[in-house]
């Protein structure tokens, strides 16, 4: 039955429409916190196709857009993607909001991250609807805001119960293009360290304890800690996946001629699936072994936006098998299944819903992977293919 339905969906799927829709959305600025205009555009386009989209308000951001299609009594497949972008970085040559096409590439802010993926999912949904499949499947499309900040749009949908009844979730953001399926992500444990010293006149430093110097010893110790490797798992750069630890911020002293008596730092440990997520004892043990002249206090952040748990959807799961099969059908080669190195919305989805989730979609690799960079661009030849992959995967899971 899937062959008959797929033939019908392919007949209704217009690959050029994906490019045109992506172009329209790139031309609408939607830097995080300013998604209202693009949300209105997406809802209007969905309405023109016969859908009944809903707005879900997200405090501090534009609203999410949600549309359901099919039999609500069936387990649903969720197609999710974010509408927002980062700020305009320096170095652009092309107009970031013109969506100009040159030599097969479409340039513009959000072309990679991730308005092309949104367009492909929307056109896939349209083709499914025009094929009259409402009695044999249930699919939900979600365009979310605030992903580039703290994932507020997705957090809102989780609280609103929009993932209830889902059997699989596909985030349409491609990291490396369709030849890479991101089936998991490292997590992130954020913590702060405050080092206390003793102030003194800066011209007689031996009378004080320099908190910046003591904190530097902590930084070097953290940098030398052994990081755990995840056996048999590849990162999205195709290297073996392992933990990492990064000092994100360090501040001490006032700039006056005074020995700093306080230095603070913010650190993140990127954790791996199957590894330890509670690293508090390890960090405190390393610091205790330094014999600092001053004191050091470690505080692990416990707020809802401070802990991202690692996750990995099994390569043997129906979701991963369906996506791999769909990509193989339309590209002629099997994609590599990887674990992303940075946390994202799918971490939130996995840890809160316990539903299988993956990321796949149009994207670039190597020097063309200009995510969060000037001259962001995407090769337009893959957009229609991505829409077919989304549509076939939905059918395969239904």
What's the predicted TM-score (pTM) here?
Answer: 0.93
Does residue 99 register a pLDDT over 70? yes
Confidence of residue 112 (pLDDT cuts 50, 70, 90): very high
Cα atoms in the 13 Å half-sphere on the side-chain side of 387: 29
* Contact by Cβ (8 Å): 388, 201: no
Confidence of residue 24 (pLDDT cuts 50, 70, 90): very high
* Contact by Cβ (8 Å): 133, 1: no
Identify the pLDDT of residue 303: 73
Closest CA to 121 of 173, 53, 49, 48: 173
**Looking up tokens 């999205």, which residue turns up?**
236
Give how far Cα 393 sits from Cα of 97, 107, 340, Å. 31, 28, 21
Give the pLDDT mean for 12-34: 99
Kindly calculate the radius of gyration of the chain based on its CA atoms and give it in whole angstroms. 24
Does residue 387 register a pLDDT over 90? yes
* Contact by Cβ (8 Å): 260, 197: yes
197: CB partners within 8 A, 6+ apart: 208, 209, 210, 211, 212, 213, 214, 259, 260, 261, 262, 263, 293, 294
Percent of all residues in the chain with a pLDDT value above 70, rounded to a whole number? 99
Give the pLDDT mean for 293-317: 89
Give the pLDDT mean for 196-205: 98
Give the pLDDT mean for 25-39: 99
Q: What is the pLDDT of residues 211-260, one digit of tens each?
A: 999 999 999 999 999 999 999 999 988 899 999 999 999 999 999 999 99
Token pair, residue 96, equals 């970031």
Residue-range domains of the chain with CATH? 2-185+310-397 (3.40.630.10), 187-305 (3.30.70.360)
Give the pLDDT mean for 3-20: 96
Token pair, residue 324, equals 């791999």
| Cα 168–chain centre separation | 17
């Amino acid at each position: 039955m899937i062959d008959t339905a797929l033939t019908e969906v392919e007949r209704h799927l217009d690959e050029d429409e994906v490019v045109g829709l992506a172009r329209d959305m790139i031309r609408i600025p939607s830097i995080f916190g300013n998604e209202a205009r693009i949300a209105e555009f997406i809802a209007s386009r969905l309405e023109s196709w016969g859908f009944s989209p809903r707005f879900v308000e997200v405090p501090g951001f534009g609203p999410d857009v949600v549309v359901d299609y099919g039999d609500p009594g069936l387990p649903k497949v969720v197609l999710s993607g974010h509408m927002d972008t980062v700020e305009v970085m320096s170095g652009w040559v092309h107009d970031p909001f013109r969506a100009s096409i040159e030599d097969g590439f479409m340039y513009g802010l959000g072309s990679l991250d991730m308005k092309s993926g949104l367009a492909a999912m929307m056109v896939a949904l349209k083709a499914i609807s025009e094929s009259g499949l409402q009695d044999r499947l249930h699919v939900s499309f979600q365009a979310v805001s605030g992903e580039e900040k703290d994932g507020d749009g997705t957090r809102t949908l989780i609280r609103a119960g929009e993932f209830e009844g889902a059997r699989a979730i596909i985030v349409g953001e491609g990291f490396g293009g369709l030849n890479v399926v991101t089936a998991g992500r490292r997590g992130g444990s954020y913590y702060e360290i405050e080092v206390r010293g003793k102030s003194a006149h800066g011209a007689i430093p031996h009378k004080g304890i320099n908190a910046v110097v003591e904190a530097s010893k902590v930084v070097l110790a953290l940098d030398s800690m052994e990081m755990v490797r995840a056996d048999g798992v590849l990162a999205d750069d195709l290297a073996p996946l392992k933990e990492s630890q990064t000092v994100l911020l360090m501040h001490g002293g006032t700039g006056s001629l005074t020995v700093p008596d306080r230095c603070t730092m913010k650190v993140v440990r990127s954790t791996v699936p199957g590894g330890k997520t509670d690293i508090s004892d390890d960090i405190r043990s390393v610091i205790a072994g330094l014999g600092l002249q001053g004191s050091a206090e470690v505080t692990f952040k416990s707020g809802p936006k401070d802990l991202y748990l690692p996750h990995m959807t099994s390569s043997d799961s129906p979701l991963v098998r369906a996506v791999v099969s769909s990509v193989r059908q339309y590209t002629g080669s099997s994609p590599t299944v990887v674990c992303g190195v940075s946390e994202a919305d799918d971490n939130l989805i996995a840890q809160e819903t316990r539903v299988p989730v993956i990321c796949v979609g149009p994207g670039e690799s190597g020097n063309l992977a200009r995510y969060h960079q000037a001259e962001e661009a995407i090769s337009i030849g893959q957009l229609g293919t991505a829409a077919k992959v989304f549509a076939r995967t939905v059918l395969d899971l239904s």
